[in-house]
């Protein structure tokens, strides 16, 4: 039987997120594999992969907050806002930048903010990916996006490099944080390195490195059950009678108070459905298994 569930991968620097997906597809012999949030090739760290029918749970993981550790280099602005792009401007003002000014500039980005995505991003501009427009010599027409930065800590300042740790909502670009920090200080800046530490309660310390010779059996040994992918959702445990009703597309009664948003239904320890709570009943949105 093909593996189904959630795979925590510690992606190294170099490969794309899609490269990692391809490795799992080949090793596990499963076509349905998808990640829940891209990491740029130069970045490393936690990548959550949904395998088999668990790909239908990806939308519930994409909204989880993410935690990163990164290094911002002041004094150099690049076309991509990270180390992979050509340097387009330099400034020596970083030599006189003080720690307190750094802290204030970082604090200004904390909270719900309007953030402009990088020109080299997958955002759409006039129907095309922004990076395609930029690579063609154009200027993408991008609009600021509302994101939330829960915390942005200064970990170390070894001029011109600023080490940070950031916890933010999905859709936040840490490259934009680096760019905006440099602009706020008037010296320019770009992201030198990035490592994703956590996605929600999932930690990179419990993730696996995928070797070139990884096998399907290796993946089966470390894949997590689908229930873990939605453990952050409200969960109710029902019986086989309710399971049959849900599988037939009918709502079932639920006396649990205060349920809001999507609700996971578990029967005999297995995820059966994602439902919507309404007027004391659970209406099936997605039903899994046979």
User: CA 268, 225, 67 angle in degrees (round to 5)?
Assistant: 130
Place of tokens 């440099």: 182
- Closest listed residue to residue 170, CA positions, set 193, 153, 146, 141: 146
Residue positions annotated with a catalytic role = 40
User: What secondary structure, in 3-state letters, does the chain show?
Assistant: CCCCEEEEEEECCCCCHHHHHHHHHHHHCCCCEEECCCCCCCCEEEEEEEEHHHHHHHHHCCCCCEEEEEEEEECEEECCCECCCCEEEECHHHHHCCHHHHHHHHHCCCEEEEECCCCCCCCEECCEEHHHHHHCCCCCCCCCEEEEEEEEEEEEEECCEEEEEEEECCCCCHHHHHHHHHHHHCCCEEEEEEEEEEECCEEHHHCECCCCCCCHHHHHHHCECHHHHCCCCCEEECCHHHHHHHHCCCCEECCCCCCCCEEEEEECCEEEEEEEEECCEEEEEEECCC
In this structure, what are the phi and psi dihedrals at residue 202, rounded to the nearest 5 degrees?
-85, 130
CB 232 within 8 A of CB 258: no
């Amino acid at each position: 039987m093909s593996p189904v569930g959630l795979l925590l991968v510690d992606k190294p620097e170099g490969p794309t997120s899609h490269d990692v997906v391809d490795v799992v597809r080949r090793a596990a012999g499963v076509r349905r594999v998808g990640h829940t949030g891209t990491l740029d090739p130069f970045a490393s760290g936690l990548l959550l992969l949904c395998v088999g029918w668990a790909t239908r749970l990806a939308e519930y993981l994409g909204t989880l907050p993410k935690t990163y550790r990164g290094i911002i280099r002041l004094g150099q602005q690049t076309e991509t806002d990270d180390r992979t792009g050509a340097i387009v401007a330099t400034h020596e003002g970083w030599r006189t930048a003080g720690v307190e000014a750094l802290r204030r500039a970082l604090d200004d980005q904390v909270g719900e903010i309007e953030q402009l995505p990088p020109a080299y991003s997958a955002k759409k501009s006039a129907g095309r990916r922004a990076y395609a427009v930029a690579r063609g010599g154009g200027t993408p027409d991008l609009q600021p996006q509302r994101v939330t930065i829960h915390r942005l800590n200064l970990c170390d300042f070894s001029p011109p490099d600023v080490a940070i740790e950031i916890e933010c909502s999905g859709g936040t670009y840490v490259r934009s944080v680096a760019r905006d920090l440099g602009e706020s200080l008037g010296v320019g800046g770009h992201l030198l390195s990035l490592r994703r530490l956590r996605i929600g309660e999932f930690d990179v310390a419990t993730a696996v490195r995928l070797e070139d010779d990884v096998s399907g059996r290796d993946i089966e040994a470390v894949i997590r059950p689908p229930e873990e992918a939605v453990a952050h959702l409200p969960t109710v445990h029902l019986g086989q009678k309710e399971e049959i009703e849900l599988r037939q597309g009918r709502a079932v009664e639920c006396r649990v108070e205060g349920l809001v948003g999507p609700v996971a239904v578990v029967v005999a320890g297995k995820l059966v459905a994602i439902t919507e709570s309404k007027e004391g009943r659970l209406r099936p949105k997605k039903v899994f298994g046979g």
